[in-house]
Structures are given as structure tokens and as C-alpha cells.
Chains A and B, each alone.
Chain A
Amino acid sequence: MSEQMSPERMSPETQTTFPRHVRHGSNSGQPVSRRDGRLKVTGAATYAADNHPEGLLHAVIATSTIARGRVRSLDVEAAKAHPGVVEVITPANRMPLHHDPNEKMPPFGFRVEVLQDDTVRYVNQPIAVVVAETLEAATEGVRLLAPRYEEEDARTGLDNGLRHEAQSVGVGAPGTVSFGDLDAGLKGAARVTEGDYSTPPQYHNAMEPHAVVAEWDGDTVTIDMPNQALRMSAASYAAYFGIPAENVLIRSPFLGGGFGSKAILNGPQILGILAARQLGRPVKLVLTRAQMYGPVGHRGRTWQKLRLGTGDDGKLTALHHHSIGATSSFDDFVEPAANASLMLYESPAIRVEHEGLRLDIGTPGPMRAPGEASGSASLEIAMDEAAEACGMDPLAFRLANYAETQPGTGKPFSSKALRECYEQGAAAFGWAGRPLEAGTMRDENGFLVGWGMGTAVFPCPQFPAEARATLRADGTALVETGGADMGQGAWTALAQLAAESLGLDLDKVEFHSGRSDLPDGGVAGGSGHTASAGQALSNAGGDVIARLTELATGDPDSPLFGAGNIGVVAAEGRLHRRDDETRSQSYADILARAGQKELVGTGKSGRDPASAEAFAMHSHGAVFAEVKIDPNLMQVRVSRLVGAFAAGRIINPKLVRSQYYGGMIWGISFALQEEAVADRRTGRIMNADLAEYHVPVNADVPRMEAILVPEEDPRVSPLGIKGVGEIGVTGTVGAIANAVWHATGIRVRNYPIRIEDLLRRR
């Protein structure tokens, strides 16, 4: 059967239409193509900045070029005199807010810069907003402001930043965790390996920059913006503007990437909404690429130290992981890098510690695999070095230190098919033939060849979420949740889960998402969106089927009369008697006989607290990398990547593979390319554009394989979904670094690995 492309309108609110899909059997577990794919490749999908309400004004933020000091003057008159400029908003005339921007906004909000005063705390901090009839006029207005500063010395590194013990890291994790006797473990070790590692600042660089289109009507506001946490954000914006949460409608049907930066409120977005309110007209504010480097979060720079004690048997006797994480001078987000050492390997003594380093930078924030990426990038090199010291194969060494229970606490894992990941990944890669010694492999062209591996791990949270399912008289259904599709495929996977729970074909289900006035879809972060919103949708569908069953089995004229809940199966839009599937009744018929136009069910999700207490819950994986290196010029090319991942139940293997590929490509980026280069004197980022801030191009991406290792886990949630969005980054970075060592014999402990790191020592 050929795919029919006759579009069917699925969501009139967002003008979202999807082509009909090819039916593969049941809804869940099928590799359904993205239902929004055609919209995206044809440009029909609308992103926030595509909205142009009547009377729209354009706002452009002026950003500081200094890292620390105060704004002494702005030539507001010159900007206002420019044709088309409507208003210049500065600390002098900014309308008041109802929440102090110097106070954090619970639960995840940071202190934000919204023109509360003339201090400058980092480069690219907003210092004014110019609003004009056109984007060009607003842009020129910003230039005409010609800010003058009173500048103080910028604190940009370890030598001049303020170090302090980090009580809490990431989003509320403890800064220090200790199990066992570290000193005894190190003293009793046959050998101790240690090293200093560093990771650079990285910026999210989603294809779609942050954008907001805001239109007020009295005390209510409609906001078009890419957003990973619709309800939470709506409540926070409401608090800033002193209005009820239900007066804020956020529409976010599609995001051009989020990676964590669109889950948390930031200054520029608030300023866009504020400008619309202050001027009484709709306003659009889009950040330039360069303006993305400062006010909207980033992956903070880290300096890490690892000490590993090992015994003669190759087992860890001690694991010490210390990390200094750069944060801003005025708020705290310390990359929880060392906590990666709490998740993977068995050791009688483990100590992880964090310090913060206050610099004149924008506050860092969560960026795809926050903590796990930077931490495992270092830990996996350290494990490789320890394996080398023990004369062991890196995989055998990891297996020797396999954690059967959660390191330190001894809690059982809800499930952990990591051993299978190692086995299947190693087999697919051909790891067994790997020589122990570095620098011995060459390919037919004479290039150095190296093989390295790393373990991947990521927690699998489940957030509170809600959903509603409405079965309609014609036997079709409407399902709704305020979810977010950053490109990961929520429009497809969530609809698959909803359709499955309703016993309906995907095409019989209309799915509404991406709006804050829908039931709360929770946060699309922490790799937990499918597990959270998906469970709520599934429960809502189940609720509808339960109600429908009640109607049918209580109807004396139904073929299902008297069958009771236990004896009915929902499939293909009909309820069937379990003991005699020839006896069935269509949903439409059941509703019609009951005289009901529709049947509404609701569902919630949230982790069972008893299960959360009893078990450690993670997704796991193993990544194997091959690099080729020019033996003389030392240019590195990743030539092969194999990842094997176990992440509970897989709803859509096609989308999941794409998530793993995306994560692994990010691993290439982290290992070999990405770095925001800040001038040590000024703190200005000298490569704040996509030409010079490198991420991989297609030609950098080798043949990749992502193996979906089967895993069942009824403990994480009834559906058994763990999450796949971030784990792919974690094992890959270290695997590539280790492959570089294996090709050259050179240990590079600073990311990204550059030509000069390999050249100067050869």
C-alpha cells in the first residue's frame, strides 16, 4: 500500500496537518515516520517568529560589550530620532514587574536581567530594548544608542574567579557525596591513576534562536515562543506580570531545537512580553545568533580532577571525582559533572565534590545531558587510563567494575541491561580484535587507527503530567496534552501512545499539543517527556475505555452485556469479549446506544514514590568509536560509531534511533569541535556565530549504528518507558577521546581535542 499524502487537519488551532501514515499493526513500537515531517521540510510548520499579528512592532535588545561594570550613558535621543523607532526601553522607563528579577523564580528559574538597573554582569547582557515599526529601524536604533560604560576588570578564569564550595549543583543535587573510606581505598590500592581534565563552555545553538511574539488583550497575553515547559513557564510569566496563570497562553507547536535552553525563563523573553505590554501593541523579539551567547544559558566550563585506585584484580578500590564548575557572579548553576561517578562503577569508596567558580558570565544552565556529558567525558578517559595501568582491555576493566547495584547506596536498579549493551555493541563493532597497546593499528592508506569505548548513562525521570482523551460519536478521538516537540518527535510518539491506549488507529486520533491551555504536559526535559506526557495520555485513553466498557457491559442489548471489565479488549475501534472475539461492538455504536455525544477521560502521570525510593533508575548504553588520524598532520576523523542502548520500552524505534544518532553526533562535536572561545581580558566570546563555533557537518559524521537493546522495566512506570534524548552524548565523548589515545598513544585530557594537542607531542 502506498503512503497516502492527503492531509488531514489534526489541530485547527495550530494549523497542524499530518499526512496519513502507513499502518504497521499496533500503534506502539512501530517505526512511524514523523507526522510533522512534511510540514517541516515544506516550510509549512510555523515557528514562533513566523507569527505576525496585526500592528506588530519589532523589538531588538541592545546588549553589553563589557563583562562587568555599569552603563554610564545611552544616546536614547539619537535612537528615538531614527525614523520608525517607537520607543527605547531602559532602566529609566521600564514598566515595573511584580516579581523581583534579582530573586529566583521557583521551581527552576534563575535571576534574570530585565533592565532592573545599570549594572553589567556579563557580555551580551540586555541593557536596553529598542522597539520600532521595522526590524531594520530597531536594529539601527540599537546601534545609535552607542553605550558608554564604566568598566571593571572582567573575571574570566581560574586565576581571577572566586572559588567557593558548591552546596548544590545542577538543579538541586547535593554538591558533595561520599561513600566508604576514600583514603583507605587509595592507600590500599595496588596503583592510583589520576589526571586533570577540562571541558569548555558550550552554547546550545539550536537552529531556531529564542523568539517571542507577544500580544496583550487587557490583562491576558498570548505568547508565541519555543518552549520546553509550557505550563510552568506560563505560571512564571504570570508571576512577573502580576496576572493569574490562566491569563497567559503560550503557543509552541514546534521548536527548532531546545536542548534545555528553552525550558527556563530568561531576560530577553520577559523583555519582549514587557515591551508589548508597555507599548500596548503586539511585539516580536528575536535574538540574533550572537545574542544567544550570554542571556539564555550554556553548558558551563569545568575543571575536573579524577583519582582512581585499583587493586591487582583490576577492581576499583577508590573513585574520587572533583569538579570546579564556572557559574555567574550572581546566580548558581554549577555543572553537576562529578555526579557522573555516582552512577556507573562499583567501588568501596566513592567521593564526588564540586566547587563553583564565579565569573563575569551569563548564568550557565542545563544543556543536553547536563553534568552527565561533561562528567562522563572525563570519567571515561580516567577509566581508560586505569585500565591501561592495569594492563586490561577497557571493556574487560569496565565489566570487572560493573555495578550490580547502585554504587554507594546498594539500591537495586529498576532494570539494567548494560551487560547486554556491552556485549551487543562490542560484537557489532568487532571490539574483540582490539590490540591492547596504543599506536599499533594502521589502515590501508597508512592512517593511524584507534578504537575506544565509553559507557553511557542517564537518569530516567518521570515528571507530573496530565492529559485528556475525548471519544467522539463517530468513533474517533481527540487527545490533548500541552507537550513540546523540540524535534524529538513528540507529535508522533505521544500520538502513538494515545492511539494504543484507545484501541484506535493513529489516523483516528486527533492529537492536540504545544499549548499551555491544554492539560499540563509537564517538562520536556531530562529525557522524560515520553515517559511523562505519554503515561498521562495512556492513562487518559485507558480511562475512556473503562467508561466505555461500563456503558457496553451494562447494556442488556449489547453483545458485551455482562462481560465485565476483565473480559473486554479494545482494538480497532471496537470492544471485543476476551473469551469470544467475534462478539464485539463499535465505539460509535456503544456511544449511540447510550445516547452520548462523547466520552471524556483524564489521566495523570507521576512516578510511584515507593518505587522511586526502592530503586535506582537509569538508561544505560555502551559506545564504541573508531578514529583515523593522519600520522603526520594529526587531523582526526571519526570513522565509525556503534552505540548499544537499553532504555526500557521503545515506542517508536525510528525516532529513538534518530535520538541516539543525534546524541552520538553531539559526542563527536564535544570531543573534537565545540568550544566557545572567550577573550581572557574582556570575556567577549570571539566565535559567537555558526561559522566559527563549530558543530559537525554531514561530512564529519561517519557510518553510525544504534542498537536498541531490549529491556523491560515495569518499575519506572506502567508503560516502562525510560528515555533516550540525552544518553547518546554521554558515552560517545570519552569513547572518541580514548580512540584518539589508542591511535596515537597521546592522552588528551582537555576538550575539544585539537590538532596542536597531538602535533606538539609527536
Chain B
Amino acid sequence: MKPFDYIRPATLAEAVTEAARPGSAYLAGGTNMLDLMKVGAAAPERLVDITRLPGLDAVEWLPDGGVRIGALVRNSDLAYDARFAASFPMVAEALLSGASAQLRNAATVGGNLMQRTRCAYFQDPASACNRRESGSGCDARDGENRMHAVLGFTEHCIAVHASDFCVPLVALGAEVEVESSDGKRTIPIDELHLLPGDTPQMETALRRGELITGVKLPAGAAAFSGHARYLKLRERTSYAFAVVSAAAALQIEDGRIAEARIALGGVAAKPWRAAEAEASLVGIEPSQPAFARAGEIALASAHPSGANAFKIELARRIVTRVLTRALEGTPERMPALPGSPFAARPDKTSGVAHV
């Protein structure tokens, strides 16, 4: 691969200064960046390794009941943090449905947010890709695209964001803390990832050199803990990206839905919050027709970007199903197959964790 400089700063201030220089990229778990460098889809001149920076690897509970997750917390450490998993069960379930155990042990919270699309044309330097090389075209549009976007895409890019973790984060209104030599700011996670428009090379709202230092979940997000699930359809039971996934969380008061949260994964260039579908549920008694309607509303603006019309119908059904699961209640224990349709249901006690 192309030779590059490797810098391991000792302080955050040093890191953000180094990373502000053109051609720099941050390196944390490296589970995505190093792969991209090996295949030639990324060729940074300078890697700024942030894994030794102090103070970024803690899960801190805030006085108001919210939580701040350091950017360097490993995916598996967060998923197995008992208090975190109890408060935000669908986040833990999403984390454990992602990648493989080995990758989750290496991958970090900040890195997960910053992962690039798995579009094969993006990863293949011999293909045209507007996201990788602005203005070069999009070979995915007439190519092998059954896994591509059905929402929010343009002729310039039909790629999807691959994260599982980000889907429940978007649903719960997480905030992303970033820092640069210009100071700190906070970005709502729904505004972190950008839809392609005519500038698909602009993937996030981060400015040059800005570093994600942490992710905050508001105190209110824990109020969904009793009815929060993540569901992921994939083509093998582990170590596969979602064909389509969804997170759903409900607050039920007096037999009615007081508040609902829905987000979809694998359908767009960003984790997709379905705000109108959420609104359709507020104040009503939960029912299958209501959930099915929410699925229709969530996908109302969807259309195929290629040979992927099936994903629209699948996404509708997944929204309906994940709402049904959320209504049934969060299981006491994490299912043996997190996020899988085959995870045992809490009201069925057949004695087996999975079929």
C-alpha cells in the first residue's frame, strides 16, 4: 500500500492539530480504515492514531440520568456494560448484531459512527464512484445493487450506511460531541451523516480535523427501556451487514402509546429516522394495523435504486415486526441471536434461546 506517516499523539490538542493538516485521517480500531487502505479505496498520507489518548474510553453517567460514551469505548465493552444495556437495550442489541465478536472487540464507538459505506463500487478503485472520487460517476446505479438504498438517494450515489449501532442512536436522539482546534461543539446524530444530494463525497457534518470525542444519550432515552428492540435481516446469522434493519422503542401509558421511536438501517446513506411514522402512533392504542400503517408511512417516499424493490416491502414488514416486538417488551436477557428474527420471544418459554 501507499506509504504513509503514522503519528501517535499523547494529547487531544496535539491530535486535532495534526489531523487538521491535509491528507490526515484518524485511526482508532482500524477495522474499516485499514481494510480500505489495503484495497486502495483510501490512501491517507498521515494516520493519527488516537487509541492512546486519555479520557476517551469511559462510560459516564450524568447527573440527569443521561450517559456519555467515550469515543474509544470498544463496541463489545459498551454492549456488555450491564447498566448501559439495561437502560438502552436496543443499542446493546444492535451492537451485538453487528460484525463479529473479534471485530466488536476492536471497533470503537467513534469509529463505528465514522465507518464508510460497504458499497462494492466504493471499495473497488477500478470502479467509478462519486463518493470516493467526486465527479467520477456511479457504477453502482446500473451495477450489482440489490443491497443499495431505497430512501434519500440521488443519481449521484445510491450507497447505504452500514452501521447497526447508529440506528437506535438516531431513534433515541443521541448527540455527538466533537472537538477541533477551534473548540468543541455538539451535533445531533441525525445531522452527522449526510444524504448524498449532488455532493456524495461529503459524508458527514464533521469539519476537517474534527474528532468525535463522545456520544451522549439523553436521560429521556432510558424511559423506553421496557419496550425497545432492534431487528436485523441479514444473509447469515453473524458477520453480515443488514439487508434491512430497524430499531423501535415505545412508551406505553394507560394502554396507549405515549411516545414512539423508529429508525431504519441499510436503506439510505444515513441511519433513517422515521419521524412521521413515529407521530402516527402517538396517542393511539397499539395494534397490528397501526404498526402496519407505521411501516407504510416510514417507506412512503421509498423507491428502488436498482434491483432492490424487495427491500422496500421488507423494510415495511420489519418496521411492523420490530414495533410488535417492542410492544411485547424487552426480554430480560439478551437473546442468543441478538437482532435476529429467530431470537426467542419473551412470551414464549420453550426453554431454548434460539432455534
Binding site for B on A (CB under 8 A): 65, 136, 139-140, 143, 290, 443-445, 447, 628, 630, 632-633, 635, 637, 639, 672-673, 677-682, 684, 686-687, 691-692, 694, 696-700, 754-756, 759-760
Q: Are A686 and B143 in contact (CB under 8 A)?
A: yes
At the interface, yes or no: B144 with Cβ under 8 Å from chain A?
A: yes
- Within 8 Å by CB of B144, from A679, A691, A700, A755, lies A679
- Tell me how far the C-beta of B43 lies from the nearest C-beta in chain A, rounded to whole angstroms: 9
Given A143-B1, A445-B345, A697-B100, 4 other A-B contacts at CB below 8 A? A140-B2, A633-B317, A672-B235, A697-B237
Q: How far is the CA of A755 from the CA of B314 in the complex (A)?
A: 9
Q: Provided the pairs A696-B236, A699-B237 are in contact, do residues A630 and B120 lie with their beta carbons within 8 angstroms?
A: no
Q: How far is the CA of A755 from the CA of B143 in the complex (A)?
A: 20
Q: Provided the pairs A684-B127, A697-B236 are in contact, do residues A139 and B146 lie with their beta carbons within 8 angstroms?
A: no
Identify the closest chain A residue to B43 (Cβ). Answer: A143
- Tell me how far the C-beta of A687 lies from the nearest C-beta in chain B, rounded to whole angstroms: 6
Q: Are B235 and A673 in contact (CB under 8 A)?
A: yes
Q: Are B342 and A628 in contact (CB under 8 A)?
A: yes
The residue in B235, B239, B321, B344 that gathers the most chain A C-beta atoms within 10 A of its C-beta is B235
Identify the closest chain B residue to A757 (Cβ). Answer: B310
Q: Are B238 and A759 in contact (CB under 8 A)?
A: no
Identify the closest chain A residue to B308 (Cβ). Answer: A756
In the bound complex, residues from chain A placing their C-beta under 8 Å from that of B202 are none
Identify the closest chain A residue to B239 (Cβ). Answer: A697
Q: Provided the pairs A633-B318, A686-B121, A691-B239 are in contact, do residues A445 and B313 lie with their beta carbons within 8 angstroms?
A: no
- Tell me how far the C-beta of B212 lies from the nearest C-beta in chain A, rounded to whole angstroms: 24
Q: How far is the CA of A681 from the CA of B128 in the complex (A)?
A: 13
Which label, helix, strand, loop or mixed, suits the secondary structure of the A interface?
loop
- Proximity string of chain B (136-159) to chain A, C-beta cutoff 8 Å, 1 when within and 0 when not: 000100111010000000000000
At the interface, yes or no: B243 with Cβ under 8 Å from chain A?
A: yes
Q: Are A759 and B233 in contact (CB under 8 A)?
A: no
In the bound complex, residues from chain B placing their C-beta under 8 Å from that of A632 are 317, 320-321
Per CB-CB distance, the 10 closest pairs between chain A and chain B, nearest first, are: A699-B237, A756-B310, A686-B120, A65-B126, A630-B341, A697-B238, A699-B238, A700-B237, A639-B355, A686-B144
In the bound complex, residues from chain A placing their C-beta under 8 Å from that of B1 are 136, 139-140, 143
Q: How far is the CA of A140 from the CA of B4 in the complex (A)?
A: 11
Identify the closest chain A residue to B343 (Cβ). Answer: A445
Q: Are B143 and A681 in contact (CB under 8 A)?
A: yes
Q: Are B236 and A694 in contact (CB under 8 A)?
A: yes
In the bound complex, residues from chain B placing their C-beta under 8 Å from that of A290 are 39
In the bound complex, residues from chain B placing their C-beta under 8 Å from that of A759 are 310, 313-314
- Within 8 Å by CB of B143, from A445, A639, A679, lies A679
In the bound complex, residues from chain A placing their C-beta under 8 Å from that of B100 are 697
Q: Are A673 and B144 in contact (CB under 8 A)?
A: no
In the bound complex, residues from chain B placing their C-beta under 8 Å from that of A760 are 310, 313
Q: Provided the pairs A697-B237, A700-B236 are in contact, do residues A677 and B314 lie with their beta carbons within 8 angstroms?
A: no
- Tell me how far the C-beta of B338 lies from the nearest C-beta in chain A, rounded to whole angstroms: 11
At the interface, yes or no: B23 with Cβ under 8 Å from chain A?
A: no
- Within 8 Å by CB of A692, from B120, B142, B237, B318, lies B120
- 27 A–B contacts, CB within 8 A, in A order: A143-B1, A143-B2, A447-B342, A447-B355, A628-B342, A633-B318, A633-B341, A635-B233, A637-B342, A678-B144, A679-B143, A680-B143, A682-B126, A682-B127, A684-B126, A694-B235, A694-B240, A697-B239, A698-B238, A754-B235, A755-B233, A756-B146, A756-B310, A756-B314, A759-B310, A759-B313, A760-B310
- Within 8 Å by CB of B355, from A443, A678, A696, A698, lies A443
Identify the closest chain A residue to B314 (Cβ). Answer: A759
- Tell me how far the C-beta of A82 lies from the nearest C-beta in chain B, rounded to whole angstroms: 9
Q: Provided the pairs A637-B237, A694-B235 are in contact, do residues A140 and B3 lie with their beta carbons within 8 angstroms?
A: yes
In the bound complex, residues from chain B placing their C-beta under 8 Å from that of A700 are 236-238
In the bound complex, residues from chain A placing their C-beta under 8 Å from that of B348 are 444-445
The residue in A630, A691, A698 that gathers the most chain B C-beta atoms within 10 A of its C-beta is A691
Q: Are B143 and A635 in contact (CB under 8 A)?
A: no
Q: Provided the pairs A632-B321, A677-B144, A699-B237 are in contact, do residues A684 and B310 lie with their beta carbons within 8 angstroms?
A: no
- Tell me how far the C-beta of A654 lies from the nearest C-beta in chain B, rounded to whole angstroms: 27
Q: How far is the CA of A760 from the CA of B309 in the complex (A)?
A: 9
Q: Are A445 and B344 in contact (CB under 8 A)?
A: yes
Q: How far is the CA of A487 from the CA of B141 in the complex (A)?
A: 42
Q: How far is the CA of A139 from the CA of B142 in the complex (A)?
A: 31
Q: How far is the CA of A633 from the CA of B245 in the complex (A)?
A: 11
Q: How far is the CA of A447 from the CA of B321 in the complex (A)?
A: 13
Q: Are B236 and A673 in contact (CB under 8 A)?
A: yes
In the bound complex, residues from chain B placing their C-beta under 8 Å from that of A698 are 238
In the bound complex, residues from chain A placing their C-beta under 8 Å from that of B321 are 632-633
- Tell me how far the C-beta of A350 lies from the nearest C-beta in chain B, rounded to whole angstroms: 36
Q: How far is the CA of A678 from the CA of B3 in the complex (A)?
A: 31
- Tell me how far the C-beta of B324 lies from the nearest C-beta in chain A, rounded to whole angstroms: 10
- Tell me how far the C-beta of A256 lies from the nearest C-beta in chain B, rounded to whole angstroms: 18
Identify the closest chain A residue to B39 (Cβ). Answer: A290
At the interface, yes or no: B350 with Cβ under 8 Å from chain A?
A: yes
Q: Are B127 and A635 in contact (CB under 8 A)?
A: no
Q: Are A635 and B236 in contact (CB under 8 A)?
A: no
Q: Are A628 and B355 in contact (CB under 8 A)?
A: yes
In the bound complex, residues from chain A placing their C-beta under 8 Å from that of B314 are 633, 755-756, 759
In the bound complex, residues from chain A placing their C-beta under 8 Å from that of B237 are 637, 697, 699-700
Identify the closest chain B residue to A699 (Cβ). Answer: B237
In the bound complex, residues from chain B placing their C-beta under 8 Å from that of A447 are 342, 355
In the bound complex, residues from chain A placing their C-beta under 8 Å from that of B187 are none
In the bound complex, residues from chain B placing their C-beta under 8 Å from that of A684 are 124, 126-127
Q: How far is the CA of A696 from the CA of B317 in the complex (A)?
A: 25
- Within 8 Å by CB of A687, from B39, B120, B317, B342, lies B120
At the interface, yes or no: B220 with Cβ under 8 Å from chain A?
A: no
Identify the closest chain A residue to B237 (Cβ). Answer: A699
In the bound complex, residues from chain B placing their C-beta under 8 Å from that of A691 are 118, 239
Q: How far is the CA of A691 from the CA of B147 in the complex (A)?
A: 14
At the interface, yes or no: B275 with Cβ under 8 Å from chain A?
A: no
In the bound complex, residues from chain A placing their C-beta under 8 Å from that of B2 are 140, 143
At the interface, yes or no: B40 with Cβ under 8 Å from chain A?
A: yes
At the interface, yes or no: B194 with Cβ under 8 Å from chain A?
A: no
At the interface, yes or no: B36 with Cβ under 8 Å from chain A?
A: no
Q: How far is the CA of A682 from the CA of B340 in the complex (A)?
A: 35
In the bound complex, residues from chain A placing their C-beta under 8 Å from that of B121 are 686
In the bound complex, residues from chain A placing their C-beta under 8 Å from that of B310 are 755-756, 759-760
- Within 8 Å by CB of A755, from B243, B340, B344, lies B243
At the interface, yes or no: B337 with Cβ under 8 Å from chain A?
A: yes
Identify the closest chain B residue to A756 (Cβ). Answer: B310
